[in-house]
Every structure is written in structure tokens, then in C-alpha cells.
Chains A and B, each alone.
Chain A
Amino acid sequence: MKKSSLMKKLTAAPYLVWAAIFIIVPLIFVLIYSVTDADGSFTLQYISDIGKYKDVMLNSIWLGFIATVISLVIAYPLAYIMARTTANVQRTMMILVMLPMWMNLLIRTYSMMILMQDTGIINSVLTYFNLPNLHMINTQGAVVLGMVYNYIPYMILPLYSIMSKMDMNLIEAAGDLGANKIVTFKDIILPLTLPGIASGFTMVFVPSVSTFYISKKLGGNTFSLIGDVIEMQFKSANNYNLGAALSLVLMVLIIICMMVMNRFTGDDDDGGVLI
């Protein structure tokens, strides 16, 4: 018995070696590059250079945060409606929500650009109804809308999955015991769906903050996000050390945001992480 269990454990060995070389070591490289210069000698210059990008970073976090909150607010009712319909309707709606995710992100973003252009389809429709045109493209609002559009399925799915497991009798019981809709929502539905909110929040926030394609296409050259700056260091400016330093900060910032988020969603499901 012992021999076979050792043999079984060894089946994990290739993965462990792989993870060490291709997950851990690359992150160590990011760390090393961020504290060395092009010649490979130690310097803190790039870490201190990050200060110059403080505004870009704060703006990225801010836009990512707004996009995540908007996603949550509009996804929540949809997930709730989905969870309360019949099995067949649920299945169809799941497909409908997931289908856009299989379209390439670049193509979806490009289509959004076409919709939002000054002479684009939305404005053509507005002109047709004699309404004033909207200037949307190359604004921060357009970038936020692009983030919401691209990542909202990642918010709907965890919310839906937790809501479909929720015991609907609890809601009725709350009603029977005299709670109005607002109280039922605040005291029953919201606490029960917190884990779904937390995972949806993470899944939308992380890609939104670090995006570079969406901001490039929908934001034009009017402003850049942290992802744009990092991409530039690696693809055109060839300043790997600064790029590594910025990535390091991005990583740390996201870890901090996640920790705050976990604190915020209560202690119930933290147990698994802490112990």
C-alpha cells in the first residue's frame, strides 16, 4: 500500500518541477530585473522611477474599480433573474452569457470602437431620431464601457452560480415573517451572495486594471493606463527594468486590493484561506 501511495504522489512531480521553473522562477526574474540596471548591477533607480507613474497607476485602479462596480450593479439583477427561471431557460441564458466570451477580445473591442465612433452606428441612430450626437470614443468613459462589456460575463457567472444554489425558501420565509423587499435583500440575499460578489469582483477587477488593448483602442492616445506603460517598456521602449518594476508594483497593488476585498466580504469564507 505504501509503495503505491508513494508512486501516486510522484505523479505530481512533473507538475511541481514545471511550476517551479515556469511560475516561480519567472516571478523571481521580475523581482531581479526591477532592482538591477541594463548591465545587471544593483540599483533602486527603477523602483524610485515608479513615482513618476503614480497618476497613471491611480487612474488605472480608479477606472478598473468603476468598471467593476458597474458590472456588479448591472450583473446582479440579471444573475438573480436567471437563477429564478426554469431549468431550460437557465441553460439557454447561460449559453447566451458565455457565448460572447468566445469571441476574441480584440475583435469585440474593435466592434465597440465602431459602434462608438463619432460617425459610428450609435451616433447614426441618434441623428436619425434628431437627437444630439454623443462624443464617446477616446474618452475615459469609453474605456470603462469597454471593460464592462468585455469582462461582465466573469461577474454574471459566479453570481449566478451562487444564486442558483441559494435556498429560495429563505426569501419566502423572510417575507412571511414580515420583512419587506429591502430588508430581505439586505439581510438575506446580500449576505448569502457575498462569496459570489467577491469572486466576480476579482475576476473583473484584475483584467480591467491591467488591460492595455482596451485603453489603446477606445481611449485613443489621450491617456494611458498602467498596462499601456508596461507594454511600451517591453515592446517599444525596450526598458525591461522599468517594465519589471512597474509590473511588480501592479502585482503588489492587486494583492493589496484583493486583501481589502476579502476583509470586506466578511470572515465566513476566509477560514479556508487563512488556515
Chain B
Amino acid sequence: MKRKMPLSSKLYVALMMLFLYAPIVVMIFFSFNSSASTGVFTGFSLRWYEALLNDEATMKAFRNTLILAVSSSFVATVMGTAAAVGINIFKNKHIKKLTMGVTNIPMMNPEIVTGISMMLLFIFCSKLIGKNDALGFGTMLIAHITFNLPYVILSVLPKLRQLDKFLPEAAMDLGCTPVQSFFKVVLPSISTGIFSGLMMSFTLSLDDFVISYFTQGPSFETLPIRIFSMTKKRVTPDMYALSTIIFVAILLLLVLLNVSQIYGEKKMSNKLNKGKGAQG
């Protein structure tokens, strides 16, 4: 039933893409501007890319963002996967429902509410221990792990449900310890879910502004926070240069992932065809 797109559809898609990409094209365009203006193009230059590499504070914020994203997505993936394994075998319906309800809260709640609620907790705790500058890397890490966890749990749980529950038992009957059966049988079959949870956490954490904004301290600045404080004044094109670099990096990553996926699928279907041939 798949057929070629009629002209009107093509036009509509083109218009939507124009809408989605106009601001991004503007940004990429002005990252090559020779003057500091983000409105008038005066000539091509790479000076903002150079300025970016020499801007110690921005590079540090970039490193901080990566450190935070890697550590929070890692912790969230381990804890979330373990949680999904446990939640999956909860027998009591009410407890299971309650757990899933709580898990949904950070996804459903407006980010600003999640941000300020954690800020209130952190400030209360820091008053308790008599410290004034408790907000920083630690609090941001906790906040990021918290908003990443639901995404990990919700991408691992369906994989666990699809898994034949007798498989781990069979492994144990054949002499595996429960731990071995988990690592040899369960883990490989839910690995795609774990991986997509990890990727989602990583990108969410990399991009988060609102929750970071309320749980951050002056000691630890991430890129979105830095962009925010810069856009309060006039933005110079080095922020555009940075965004352009990130954009191109993500584009390449996505294209590579998809090419490998297509390649993998082809290989798979070849295998299947061969299998069929052998059977017939």
C-alpha cells in the first residue's frame, strides 16, 4: 500500500521542514559571520570557532556537561535496570501500580515543578547540615539521575515482559546460579532496552536546562546554564559555533546509527532467507 508521495504531500513536507530548520540554518549561517552581529552577515570567517576553542569557561562548561551526562546516565541505567527486573516480578497489583505511578511523576510533572521541588529539598538539607553552598555537582547529579530513571525503567520493562520467563529457569535447571542466569540469559535479551534507556538518559541530561537551573550552584556550570547566562545579554556567534558543532556531531552519529541499522537488517534478512533455503 506504500506508494509515491503526491506533489501536495511533498510540498507540505517541504514547508514543515522549512519551519523546523529555518532557525537552525540561521544559526549555522551566522556562526561563520566575520562580525559579532547575529543579524547582519558581513563576510565568511572561522573566527568564532577559534574564539570558542580559546574560551576556557565555555570549554570547561562543555566538559562539565559531559561528565554530568555520562555519570548520571550510567547510574540511572544501572539502578533503573535493576529496578525494572524487580518491578517486573512484583506480584501485588497495588504495589506495582503505585510504583509505576511514582515512576511516572518526573515525566508528567512540569520540569519547573520537578526543579523547584528538588531545590527546596536540597536547601532544607543544606540548612540542616549548616552549609550554604551545598548546591553544585552533587545536587545536579542527584537531580539528573532522578529524571533519567523513569526513561530507563520504561524502556527496559517492556523487554522484560517480552522475555520468556521460563528461560532463566531453564538456565538454572541446567546448572547456572541465579546470578549467572541473569547475566547469561536475561541481560542479553533486554540489552536493546537498556541501550536505548542509556542513550535517552544521556541526551536528556546533556540537554537539560530547567531542572539544572534550579539545582545548580556557582561551583559547577553546565553548557545549557552557561548559554542561559549568555543569552541574558547579547549572544556572540561563538555560541552558534558551538551549537553548529554539536548539531553536525549528532547528525553524523544518527546517520551512522541508521546506516548500520539498515546494514544489520539486510544481513539479518539475508540470513533468514538462507535459513529458509536450507530448510526447503
Contact at A247–B112, with CB atoms within 8 Å? yes
In the assembled complex, the CB of A87 is this many whole angstroms from the nearest CB of chain B, namely: 8
Contact at B39–A120, with CB atoms within 8 Å? yes
Instruction: Give B contacts to A, CB under 8 Å.
Output: 1-3, 5, 9, 12-13, 16-17, 19-24, 26-27, 30, 38-39, 79-80, 82-87, 89-90, 99, 102-103, 105-106, 108-114, 116-121, 123-124, 142-143, 145-146, 149, 153, 169, 172, 178, 203, 207, 209-210, 214, 223-224, 227-228, 231, 235, 239-240, 243, 246-247, 250-251, 254-255, 258, 262
Contact at A108–B24, with CB atoms within 8 Å? yes
- Give the chain A neighbours of B109 by CB distance below 8 A: 206, 251, 254
Q: A23 on the interface (CB 8 Å rule)? A: yes
In the assembled complex, the CB of B257 is this many whole angstroms from the nearest CB of chain A, namely: 9
- Give the chain B neighbours of A177 by CB distance below 8 A: none
* Residues of chain A in range 189-245 having any CB-CB distance to chain B below 8 Å: 202, 206-207, 209-210, 212-213, 217, 227, 230-231, 234, 240, 243-244
Sample (26) of A-B pairs whose CB atoms are under 8 Å apart: A4-B172, A9-B86, A12-B87, A13-B86, A15-B86, A18-B146, A25-B121, A29-B121, A78-B16, A81-B9, A93-B13, A96-B20, A102-B207, A102-B250, A106-B231, A111-B24, A117-B39, A149-B19, A206-B108, A210-B111, A213-B209, A213-B210, A230-B116, A234-B116, A250-B113, A254-B108
A112 to B13, CA, bound (A): 20
A103 in contact with B243 given A12-B83, A29-B121, A29-B124 (CB within 8 Å): yes
Q: For B203, give the chain A residue with the smallest CB separation.
A: A102
Q: A7 on the interface (CB 8 Å rule)? A: yes
- Give the chain B neighbours of A256 by CB distance below 8 A: none
A103 to B242, CA, bound (A): 11
A15 in contact with B110 given A77-B12, A108-B24, A111-B26 (CB within 8 Å): no
A110 in contact with B231 given A172-B1, A234-B116 (CB within 8 Å): yes
A251 to B3, CA, bound (A): 45
Contact at A110–B251, with CB atoms within 8 Å? no
Contact at A111–B27, with CB atoms within 8 Å? yes
Q: For A21, give the chain B residue with the smallest CB separation.
A: B121
In the assembled complex, the CB of A95 is this many whole angstroms from the nearest CB of chain B, namely: 5
Instruction: Give A contacts to B, CB under 8 Å.
Output: 1, 4-5, 7-16, 18-19, 22-27, 29-30, 33, 74, 77-78, 81, 84-89, 91, 93, 95-100, 102-108, 110-112, 114-115, 117, 119-121, 149, 152-153, 168-169, 172, 202, 206-207, 209-210, 212-213, 217, 227, 230-231, 234, 240, 243-244, 247, 250-251, 254, 258
Of the candidates B30, B116, B172, B240, the one having the most CB atoms from chain A within 10 angstroms of its own CB is: B116
A99 to B214, CA, bound (A): 26
Contact at B102–A23, with CB atoms within 8 Å? yes
A30 to B115, CA, bound (A): 11
- Give the chain A neighbours of B149 by CB distance below 8 A: 15, 18-19
In the assembled complex, the CB of B183 is this many whole angstroms from the nearest CB of chain A, namely: 13
A85 in contact with B207 given A4-B178, A29-B120, A247-B112 (CB within 8 Å): no
**A-B CB proximity, top 9 nearest:** A12-B86, A15-B83, A210-B110, A26-B117, A111-B23, A11-B82, A4-B178, A29-B120, A11-B86
A7 to B85, CA, bound (A): 10
In the assembled complex, the CB of B92 is this many whole angstroms from the nearest CB of chain A, namely: 10
List 6 additional A-B contacts (Cβ < 8 Å) besides A91-B262, A206-B109, A254-B109.
A9-B86, A78-B12, A96-B17, A110-B231, A110-B235, A234-B214
* Dominant secondary structure of chain A at its interface with chain B: helix
In the assembled complex, the CB of A55 is this many whole angstroms from the nearest CB of chain B, namely: 19
In the assembled complex, the CB of A201 is this many whole angstroms from the nearest CB of chain B, namely: 13
A119 to B251, CA, bound (A): 31
A8 in contact with B120 given A84-B3, A96-B20, A210-B110 (CB within 8 Å): no
Identify B85's interface contact among A11, A24, A254, CB under 8 A.
A11
In the assembled complex, the CB of B58 is this many whole angstroms from the nearest CB of chain A, namely: 13
